[in-house]
């Protein structure tokens, strides 16, 4: 039996800081959530054992992301920042040519561009004269998750340093889905169909009472390449009055 892709980087990716701290974290009411990262509810449990409603929308994820970081221990702070930015710009150009994209983690995932890359926070890497920048490399999910992970790992391994700046990262991947809220109507329709079908089993004198359908959409990983979008609904079958 082929083992599923191990999403070892899920926790690290979830902790990646957002690029644009001064921008609103919550999109406008008509903009949707944007692209969000998805990880297994329990990294140590089989996907089938995750706790979630039976009915929801199962679909292939849109993309996969892998952790990437650039660090430098050049003593001078300005030179250290310049080295990291030099490597970052080269990585951006190489990613574009390879069909990948550098992004920052958060909700939503945000592209790193030549207009905003300097907003990536320079974090302390354990010493006062060492800085590190955390970001992600994203690829469209094409073929299997294993194949996408291999492509991303090869890209991370191919990146070159500059001066005392080095590149690291790689490992596992996390899946992404674009604007989960766009699937709300489809999910509600699936839940209503299931409730009606089950009520009908008890006979025409029975109906159902549905709650929770106004809750936010939740996402979960259900296989190495698929996500499950659902609303935490509950319904009760009861006699008609």
The answer to whether residues 64 and 118 belong to one domain is: yes
Residue range 122-139, pLDDT digits in tens: 988 888 889 999 999 999
Residue 25 and residue 110: Cα distance in Å, rounded?
11
Q: How many residues does the chain have?
A: 241
Residue 76 and residue 129: Cα distance in Å, rounded?
7
The answer to whether residues 108 and 213 belong to one domain is: no
Tokens linked to 196: 């009606």
Residue range 14-64, pLDDT digits in tens: 344 444 433 333 333 344 778 998 864 434 445 555 567 889 999 999 999
Domain count, the chain: 2
In-domain check, residue 33: yes
Single residue among 178, 194, 218 that ends a domain in this structure? 178
Q: Looking at residue 53, what is its pLDDT?
A: 83
In-domain check, residue 5: no
In-domain check, residue 48: no
Which range marks the domain in which residue 125 is found?
A: 10-37+60-178
**What CATH number should be reported for the domain holding residue 163?**
3.30.70.600
In-domain check, residue 150: yes
- Of 91 and 18, more confident: 91
pTM over cut 0.95: no
- In contact, 219 and 229? CB cutoff 8 Å: yes
Q: Is 78 exposed, middle or buried (0-12, 13-18, 19+ CB in 10 A)?
A: exposed
The answer to whether residues 14 and 87 belong to one domain is: yes
């Amino acid at each position: 039996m082929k083992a599923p892709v191990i999403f070892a980087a899920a926790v690290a990716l979830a902790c990646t800081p957002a690029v644009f701290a001064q921008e609103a974290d919550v999109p406008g009411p008509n903009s949707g959530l944007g692209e969000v990262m998805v990880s297994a509810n329990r990294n140590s449990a089989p996907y089938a054992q995750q706790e979630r409603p039976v009915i929801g929308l199962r679909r292939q994820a849109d993309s996969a992301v892998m952790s990437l970081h650039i660090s430098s221990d050049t003593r001078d702070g300005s030179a250290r920042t310049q080295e990291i930015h030099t490597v970052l710009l080269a990585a951006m150009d190489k990613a574009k040519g390879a069909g990948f994209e550098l992004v920052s983690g958060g909700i939503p995932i945000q592209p790193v561009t030549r207009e905003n890359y300097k907003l990536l926070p320079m974090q302390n890497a354990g010493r006062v004269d060492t800085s590190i920048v955390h970001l992600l490399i994203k690829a469209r999910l094409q073929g299997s998750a294993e194949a996408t992970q291999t492509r991303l790992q090869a890209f991370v391994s191919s990146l070159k340093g500059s001066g005392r700046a080095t590149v690291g990262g790689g490992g596992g991947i996390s899946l992404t889905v674009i604007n989960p809220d766009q699937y709300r109507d489809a999910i509600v329709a699936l839940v209503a169909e299931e409730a009606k079908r089950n009520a009908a089993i008890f006979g025409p004198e029975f109906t159902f009472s549905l709650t929770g359908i106004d809750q936010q959409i939740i996402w979960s990983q259900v296989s190495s390449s698929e996500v499950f979008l659902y609303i935490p609904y509950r319904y009760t079958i009861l006699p008609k009055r």
